[in-house]
Structure 1
Amino acid sequence: MARQARISLGQEPHLVAQRGHGLAPVFHDDEDAARYIADLREACRQHHVVLHAYALTPGQALLLMTPSSDQALGRAMQTLGRRYVAWHNQRHQRRGTPWEGRFRSALVEQPAEVLSALRFVEAAGGLLVHHDATHMPAGPLWSSLDHHLGRQSNPAITSHAAFWSLGNTPFEREAAYKQWWDQGPSDRELLRIEAALQGGRPLGGPEFERRIAQQLARPVTARPRGRPRKAASPELVRTSTSLDDSVPI
């Protein structure tokens, strides 16, 4: 089966995931995490991509990013992959890529879904929707959460406009986001976001999906499984109509 083309549009936020083979560790310690974030920052700078949030667990990286052009996200992730994998393999004396395959991404409707995507990232995807038994390491090296809670400024992060809309002052924004964070996503929300990420589909409402489909001139939602239902033949339609007409009302 042909691989579905990734949806990537400039000036739109994207939820991005990179995962190790079977969630095997890709980040073993603070040095790995620091190197990945440094390489990520350089790749974003080089290809004009804005980083809004990130979270690392040993087996995955979750990112919220806005590329400047349709091609910028793919180029930034390619640069990041080349830099980090080469360094990682040399440090840990291994070969091949530690990632399970190409990165996954989902276009995020703004502003409607940005805060949900932000919380998904900084909760490390609900620790992969409750299937990852590895706890998320703490600290600014591993997550941008401290930045959005006002605990420690993170120079790698440019907060999205949806975050700024939470209040007129930093204190108001941080307090509102903490309340949103403490509320936590429901299992349904986690599964909905993960499904969009796994399927490479837009994360948003029907109108957003229609707009993206028109812009790309191709479907962006999942098609029903199985073969399309065949239209009834004209003879069958005439017979059915004739039978219906004979039934008294």
Structure 2
Amino acid sequence: MARLPRLYAPGLPQLIQANFVHPLATPSQPTPQEVLNQLATWLGEAAQRHRVAVHGWVLAIDRILLLATPTDEEGLPRLMQTLGRNLAARLRSGRVFAGRYRSALLEPGVWVLPALVWLETYPVRSGASPDAEAWPWSSAGNHTGHTLAATPATQWQSDHADYWACGNTPFDRQANYRRRLHDGLSREQSQRIDQAVMGQWALGGPEFIANLAHTASRRVSPGQRGRPRKKPVDAAQ
């Protein structure tokens, strides 16, 4: 079965997941802080070079998660290729990522903040950290005002307009988003995000999906299963 072309639409954010072929460390090993710090530096450099606005990010032991808006269709693929090449050279290994990265287009005003929560709570879901804000290699601390000395410099992070809408002041935004982060998502929200990322589809309402048909690089939602229905035969023929 032919693999789907990359899904892209001008000006729309994407949720990206790239799994590593081999985890950077086993559960019994210490967290590879130097590698993760270096990966964060490479992410910032590649985002600026390839003109990708990174709104949210998590660097985990087994994967990279991003919420980003590329300037053009080639931005994200080039960013991920750069990260893969740099990490392979650092680890002195072959292929870094387990296949192609997966992504989903998001409807602003509806799914950006849930996707950000989904992304930033991954260290908690995976058991890597008891608190999303405590994982240094993540945008969570920046969004909640929780800062750690070990957190890499992230001047390259570009918050999405939906995050800015969380409050009129930095304190309000951080407090409101912190509550959202700690409340988490409903099971339905998590399932819809999981399905959109794994299926590489768009996530939004019917009108959003319909409008995307005119601007997206390919089909944005799954087709109906089975053979197309046959048209009824005209009795007059």
Work out whether 1:56 is the aligned partner of 2:59.
yes
Larger Rg: 1
- For residues 92-144 of structure 1, the C-alpha deviation after alignment (integer angstroms, 9 at most, x for no partner) is xxx321321111111111122111111111012873xxxx5x43486453211
The aligned residue for residue 214 of structure 2 is: 214
Distance 2:123 2:213 in 1: 26
**66, 69, 73: which one aligns with 1:66:** 69
Higher relative contact order (CA 8 A, sep 6+): 2
Distance 2:234 2:123 in 1: 51
TM-score normalised to the size of structure 1? 0.82
Cα offset, 1:149, TM superposition: 0.6
Distance 1:75 1:10 in 2: 16
Equivalences for 1:153-172 in 2 at 5 Å? Answer: 154-172=154-172
Work out whether 1:148 is the aligned partner of 2:157.
no
- For residues 21-54 of structure 1, the C-alpha deviation after alignment (integer angstroms, 9 at most, x for no partner) is 3xx4136511121111111111111111111111
Distance 1:214 1:125, change over 3 A: farther
* Percent of matched pairs sharing the same residue: 36
Cα offset, 1:234, TM superposition: 3.8
Tell me which amino acid in the other structure corresponds to 1:100.
A
User: 2:7 touches 2:200 (CA, 8 Å); kept in 1?
Assistant: yes
Distance 1:199 1:29 in 2: 31
Equivalences for 1:209-248 in 2 at 5 Å? Answer: 209-216=209-216, 218-234=218-234
Distance 1:198 1:232 in 2: 36
The aligned residue for residue 135 of structure 1 is: 128
Calculate the aligned-residue CA RMSD, in Å: 2.3
**28, 31, 35: which one aligns with 1:32:** 35
Distance 1:20 1:137, change over 3 A: farther
Equivalences for 1:52-131 in 2 at 5 Å? Answer: 52-88=55-91, 90=92, 95-124=93-122, 127=125
Match of 2:66, SS?
strand
Q: Which has the higher helix share?
A: 1
TM-score normalised to the size of structure 2? 0.86
Distance 1:207 1:201 in 2: 15
Cα offset, 1:63, TM superposition: 0.6
In structure 2, stretches of 5+ residues that fail to align are: 26-30, 148-152
Distance 1:219 1:125, change over 3 A: farther
User: 1:19 touches 1:100 (CA, 8 Å); kept in 2?
Assistant: yes
Distance 1:51 1:218, change over 3 A: closer
User: 2:16 touches 2:104 (CA, 8 Å); kept in 1?
Assistant: yes
What is the aligned residue count?
225
The aligned residue for residue 44 of structure 1 is: 47
Distance 1:165 1:196 in 2: 24
Distance 1:193 1:73 in 2: 19
After TM superposition, what 4+ stretches of structure 1 lie above 6 angstroms from structure 2? none
